[in-house]
Amino acid sequence: MKTQAEKAADFARLHERGCFVIPNPWDRGTARLLAGLGFRALTTTSAGYARSLGVSDYQAGRDHVLAHVRDLVTATDLPLAADLENGFGHAPEVCAETIRLGAEAGLVGGSIEDATGDARVIYDMAEAADRIRAAAEAAKALPYTFMLVARCENYLHGRTDLADTIARLQAYQEAGADVLYAPGVSTAEEIGEICRSVDKPVNVLGGLGAKPLSVCELADLGVRRVSVGSWLHSAAMTAFVNAAQDESFGYVSDLVVGRQMDQWLKEGAG
């Protein structure tokens, strides 16, 4: 297995080489399948992992998420980042502690979002930037490169204000974020404007919009990284529910054969 420093260097280089897809496993098996399929880095899904525990998104808690990280880190030789939600607390020092704990668990990257999880919905910009600044200081103190992602959650909460979203991403960039992410933004015009307005790599959630943009189209707009959030988990669970309700067993003929999955798992384990 590669060292954490080696994985961190690999991960940082990926952000310099153009656009790459970083899929989101929710357990050791899906991590190894994705590695076996040839992906070069992985990041967790808060929703997918929480639902795999039988709870809703944001209900897993920091201790469970860190245990999940420790499990996935040893599943493959790929760099692992994580959805660290809002840092699991409002105070900047809590965000910083979450970054330190994530690094201790084996992460080489992680995201902090500006959604509060309470009635305020989104933190004030200055407060949100302070939280990113504290997280960035913790990340920069590590003995390897930790790719800190700052997330602006406006669009996921119905605040489709591109100007405010860009202003927030610029503030988070100034606060020390290494990657910028506004999940929910979906049009080529908006994504292109974000990429032109910041100097750090931009992450986009793929698959949105009436006609989702392809990886090549996103790359042409200047996007460096494409994640899929909980889409893979939702796709798997949709197939699970449909199959469970199919009394004709028609789904069996379309299954990936077990031998093929075993081969991918073997390749993904390194």
CB atoms within 10 A of CB 126: 9
Q: For residue range 157-189, list pLDDT tens digits in order.
A: 999 999 999 999 999 999 999 999 999 999 999
Nearest residue to 223 via CA among 11, 22, 9, 6? 22
Q: For residue range 194-230, list pLDDT tens digits in order.
A: 999 999 999 999 999 989 999 999 999 999 999 999 9
Q: What is the arithmetic mean of pLDDT over 245-253?
A: 94
The first and second tokens of residue 53, run together, are 């525990």
The first and second tokens of residue 114, run together, are 């500006």
Question: How many residues in the chain?
Answer: 270
Angstrom distance (rounded) from CA 78 to CA 2? 8
Contact (Cβ atoms closer than 8 angstroms) between residue 132 and residue 112: yes
- Whether the predicted pLDDT of 49 surpasses 90: yes
Supply the pLDDT for residue 191. 98
- Enter the pTM of the model: 0.95
Give the contacts of 262 (CB within 8 A, at least 6 positions apart): none
Q: What is the arithmetic mean of pLDDT over 13-21?
A: 94
Contact (Cβ atoms closer than 8 angstroms) between residue 57 and residue 68: no
The partner residues of 83 in beta bridges, in order of sequence, read 111
Confidence of residue 58 (pLDDT cuts 50, 70, 90): confident
